[in-house]
Structure 1
Amino acid sequence: MPASSSVVEGVFETLIRGGTVINADGLSRGDIGIAAGKVAAIIAPGEAAEARTVVDASGSFVLPGLVDAHAHLRDPGLTHKEDFSSGTHAAALGGVTTVLDMPTDEPWTATAEQLDDKMATAEGRIHVDVGLQAVVSRDLSPVPRLLGLAPVSFELFTADVPDAFLFDTLDTVAGALRAFRDADTLIGISPGDQSILTGSTARDRSGTIAAFLDSRPPLAEANGIARALVAAASTEARVHVRQINSELGVETWSRLRGMADATVETTPQNLFFTAQDYEAQGANLKASPPLRSPHDIDALRAALSAGLIDIVATDHAPHAPAEKAASYSAFADIPGGMPGLQTLLPTMLRLVDEGLIALHDLVRMCSRNPAERFGLGRRKGRVAVGYDADLLILDPRRSSTVANADQVSRAGYTPFDGWTVKARLTNVFLRGHEIVREGRLVGQAQGKIVTRES
C-alpha cells in the first residue's frame, strides 16, 4: 500500500489513527488522512499530521466499505416491501456503502426514461451510494440510450420472468449479448432453465416444497451457466453469472469459466442454509434458486475457500411481513426473497471465524471485486490514496449478535437471528463523512447515485 514518507502538508478533514488496514491483497499499518471525500494520504503510524477530527482506531481493523452487487431496493412501485431510504439505512448499518440495485421494480427499469426517473426518485433519500442496473428486454431498441446513462450493469434473465424479459434459448441469449459486443458494460445473467421449470410444473402440481425444489434443480443451474459462458465466448461479451449454489453448478463453472470474460457470485444464505431448513423457517427462507443439500453447500464452501467464487452478494429482496405470513396454496407461490444488506458483513465474518476465509478474502469478494467488475473500480473497493473514503472500523475485541429486533429493513426479520460473530462494526464512513456510529445513523442521508466509469 502506498504511504507517504514525510509530514503531510495542510490539514486533513479527518485522520483515522492506529488501525490495521485490510485490503484484498493483505493487511498493513497506516494512518488514513481524508480530504474532500477521498483518502488523501496513508502515512506511517503515528507520523505527525493535523486534522480537524481525529478518530482513534487503535486495536481495530479498517476495511473499505462493502459493495453489494445484487440487491432489490423495491423502489419505485413496490415500496411497501422496501424503499430507497429503508434499504440504504439497512445497508449503512451493515457496512455496505455501495448498493447495486437490480431493475425488477414496478415498472422494470427497461428504458432510459425509466432509469432516469429512478435516479431522480433516489435523490436525497439514500444513506449510501447506489448504482443502478438496467434490464435487457426482448425489444433491444432501448439499449443505446440506456448505455448513455451508464448503468453499472444490464441484467438478462433466462427463466421465471415475464415474457417481455425472457431469454429462454441459447439463440436468444446470444442475440441479446451481440447488442453489447462493442459496449463497455457488464451483463448479469441469472442461470435458470425455463424448459426444466415448465416440464417440472407439468409433472408435479402438488405445490409442495419437493415440487419447488424439482422445478429449479442443479441441472437447470448448470445448463444456465454453460449457456451463459458459451454465448459470452461466441459474442465476446462480458458477463457476470448470478448466484450459484449447487455442486453441479460449481463444477460447470470451474470447467468452463476460462472460455469467456466472466465472473460468478453466490450469497451468504447459500453458504449456510440447506433445503432441510425450510421445515423450520419456511417462507422466510423461500427464494430462488432454492436451497440445496448439505453436499452442495460443502462444494460451494470449498469453491469459496479455493477462490473460485469472485463475489459474495446478498440478493437482498425483502417483502412485507404480511406477505410472507399469508397462506398460499403452493410453496412456490410464496413471495421469493429475504433481507440481507444489514447482515452481509456479519455473515462473512462468521466465515472468517470458522477459518474458511481470511479478512482480506472478505474484502476481495465483497469490496474490491464487485467494485472493479461493475465499473466502479477507480473509486470504490480499496483503502488507497485517491479512492472514496468509504471506510469501516471493525473492533475484533468486541463481539456482536445479529437480532431481529435490530433490523431496519421493512421485512422486519433476518434468517440469521441470534448469530454471534467475534467483531463489532463501530464506525462507517461514506466519502469521508461518518454515517454510522455504534449501530446508529449519524446525520442526514448523504448517498449519491454512482454510474459506470468510462
Structure 2
Amino acid sequence: MFDMIISGGTVVNANGERRADVGITDGRVAAILSPGDVAEARTVVDAAGCHLLPGLVDAHVHLREPGLTQKEDFDSGTRAAALGGVTSVLDMPTDDPWTATSGQLAEKMAMAKGRIHVDVGFQAVLSQDLSLLEGLLALRPVSLELFTADVPEAFRFNTMDAVAEMLKRLAGRDTLIGISPGDQSILEGSGPRDGAGDIAAFLASRPPLAEADGVARAVLAAAATGARIHVRQVNSAIGVSTWRRLRDMADATIETTPQNLFFTAEDYATLGANLKGSPPLRNARDVEALRAALSEGLIDIVATDHAPHSPTEKAATYAAFADIPGGMPGLQTLLPTMLRLVAEGVIGLSELVRMCARNPAERFGLARSKGAIATGYDADILVVDRRRSSLITNAEQASRAAYTPFDGWSIPAKLTRVFLRGQEIVRDGAIIAERRGAVVVREV
C-alpha cells in the first residue's frame, strides 16, 4: 500500500508526457502507474485533467541571509518559492558576509534548518585565499562561484590567467564552478562620462561586449583546464552568439532569466527602479535572440536571479540610476512566466521541465533526487491545471520586496497544489504545511 497516490494526471518530464498515476511512499516516488492499474493508498489525490510537473529547481537565488534580512530572509524567500512551485532553491553566496569560508558556509546551513519552506542548497564564493578550498569542498556546496567583474577585489578574477589558474585547481574535483561573465577592463572603460547618471549612462557602462567577452573567457578557460562550469545569466544577442560558437569546446552550461525573456531597456521608462538589475536589460533584438535560443534548446537553464530589496530601498532617491540597488524578486513568478512562454509557443511543457527542473538538478549535484517524477526520486510534485487561469499580482507576493515586475499579467494555467517529498505544502495559493524544507548538498 502506498502512502499516497496522485491520480488522473499527465506526468510531465524532460523527455515527454504520459498519462499516469504517481504512487508515493516515505516521501519518494515509489511507482509510476498506468491508468487503470489497481493500487491502494492511505490517501488519494484527484488530479484528473491536470498536469503533474516535478518541483522546480531555481539555480540562482539570493535569500539575503545573513546580514541583509531587511531585503529577504530564509522564511520569506522560501515561502515565495513554495507558493510559486519552486521546491529546491540554490542560494548564492553574496550576503553579508559573503559565504567564502567553511565556517561561514556551515553557519549558514545551520541557520536555515527549521526555517525553510522548501529545500535549499548553498553555493560558496571563491576568493584569492586558496587555503579555503578544501574546507569548502568538504561541506559539499552545490557550486563554487567565480566572479570576473563588478565585485570586491578579494573575490574578483579579472584576467584570463586568474580564471584559468583557479579552474585548473578545481578540474577533476566533484564540484561545479558558476561563472558570472564580465570584463572588468570593459566596465571601467565604459563608465559614465561627464557625471552622467541617467539610464543611458547605466546601459553604456555595462555593454553586451563585456558579457560576450566573459562568456568566451569562461568557456575557453574551461576547455583548457577540463573544469566543469556553469555560465550565469546571459542576456544579449552577442552573448548568445558567442556561446553558440564555443559551447561544445568545454563541459559547460548556461542560463538566462525570465525578465530577460520579456522586458527590454525601454521598460525602464515605466518600471524604473523595480526593473533595475545587472546585467541591464537590452533591446528587442536581444530578447528575440534569447527566445530563439530557448526554443532551439541552446539555453540549458532558466533561473530567476531572485535578488529582492526592501520597498524603501527601491523607492529612495539616488544621484544616479546606477546607484539604485540592483535586483528584483522572481521565485514566486518563475513557473507562471515559463507557463506563459508555453502558451506563446516558445517552448513546450517538457522544455520547461528540462530547463527549470532536470537540468539544474543534474548540473548542481542533485540528479538522483530532484528534477523528475520517477521512481526513487523525491516526491516534489506540482499540480498544474491548464483549464484554469491565474493572475500575477503584487498583493499576493510573499517576498519582502512586496512587488513583482509581472504585476497584472494573466497566465493561462493555475498551480493548485505543491508537494515536497510527498507532503502537501501549498494548496490553492496558500501554505498549508509550514517550514518542511531541508538543507541539501551535492550528492555523493
TM-score normalised according to structure 2 size: 0.99
The code of the aligned residue for 1:240 comes to: H
- Structure 1 stretch 306-315 or stretch 437-446: which is displaced more? 437-446
Q: CA deviation at 1:202?
A: 6.0
Q: 2:409 aligned with 1:422, yes or no?
A: no
Please name the residue that 2:14 is paired with. 24
Q: 2:177 aligned with 1:219, yes or no?
A: no
The code of the aligned residue for 1:59 comes to: G
Identity of aligned residues (%): 70
Q: CA deviation at 1:444?
A: 2.0
Distance in 2, matches of 1:202 and 1:72, equals: 28
Distance in 1, matches of 2:194 and 2:114, equals: 48
Please name the residue that 1:307 is paired with. 297
TM-score normalised according to structure 1 size: 0.97
Counterparts of 1:9-48 in structure 2 under 5 Å?
11-48=1-38
Please name the residue that 1:339 is paired with. 329
Q: 2:352 aligned with 1:356, yes or no?
A: no
Aligned length: 444
Does the 8 Å CA contact 1:62/1:393 hold for their aligned counterparts? yes
Q: CA deviation at 1:45?
A: 1.1
Please name the residue that 1:394 is paired with. 384
Q: 2:279 aligned with 1:289, yes or no?
A: yes
Specify the SS of the correspondent of 1:220.
helix
Does the 8 Å CA contact 2:144/2:177 hold for their aligned counterparts? yes
Does the 8 Å CA contact 2:361/2:371 hold for their aligned counterparts? yes
Q: 2:320 aligned with 1:330, yes or no?
A: yes
Give the one of 151, 157, 175 matched to 1:161. 151
Give the one of 245, 266, 289 matched to 2:235. 245
Q: CA deviation at 1:30?
A: 1.0
- Unaligned 5+ residue runs, structure 1? 1-10
> CA, structure 1 residues 151+398, in 2 after alignment: closer, same or farther (shift >3 Å)?
same
Distance in 2, matches of 1:197 and 1:312, equals: 25
Deviations 1:257-285 (A, max 9, x none): 01110000000000000000000000000
Give the one of 339, 357, 365 matched to 1:367. 357
Please name the residue that 2:266 is paired with. 276
The code of the aligned residue for 1:83 comes to: D
Specify the SS of the correspondent of 1:426.
strand
Please name the residue that 2:172 is paired with. 182
Distance in 1, matches of 2:57 and 2:147, equals: 22
Deviations 1:162-187 (A, max 9, x none): 01001111011111112202311100
Please name the residue that 2:429 is paired with. 439
Specify the SS of the correspondent of 2:190.
helix
Does the 8 Å CA contact 1:16/1:57 hold for their aligned counterparts? yes
Deviations 1:243-269 (A, max 9, x none): 001110000000000111000000000
Does the 8 Å CA contact 2:84/2:333 hold for their aligned counterparts? yes
CA RMSD of aligned residues (A): 0.7
Please name the residue that 2:140 is paired with. 150
Q: 2:401 aligned with 1:411, yes or no?
A: yes
Please name the residue that 1:62 is paired with. 52
Deviations 1:346-391 (A, max 9, x none): 0000100100100000000000000000000111000000000000
Does the 8 Å CA contact 2:192/2:204 hold for their aligned counterparts? no
Please name the residue that 1:4 is paired with. none
Distance in 2, matches of 1:425 and 1:181, equals: 41
Q: 2:78 aligned with 1:88, yes or no?
A: yes
Distance in 1, matches of 2:172 and 2:335, equals: 36
Distance in 2, matches of 1:212 and 1:137, equals: 27
- Structure 1 stretch 38-47 or stretch 308-317: which is displaced more? 38-47
Please name the residue that 2:288 is paired with. 298
Distance in 1, matches of 2:234 and 2:296, equals: 15
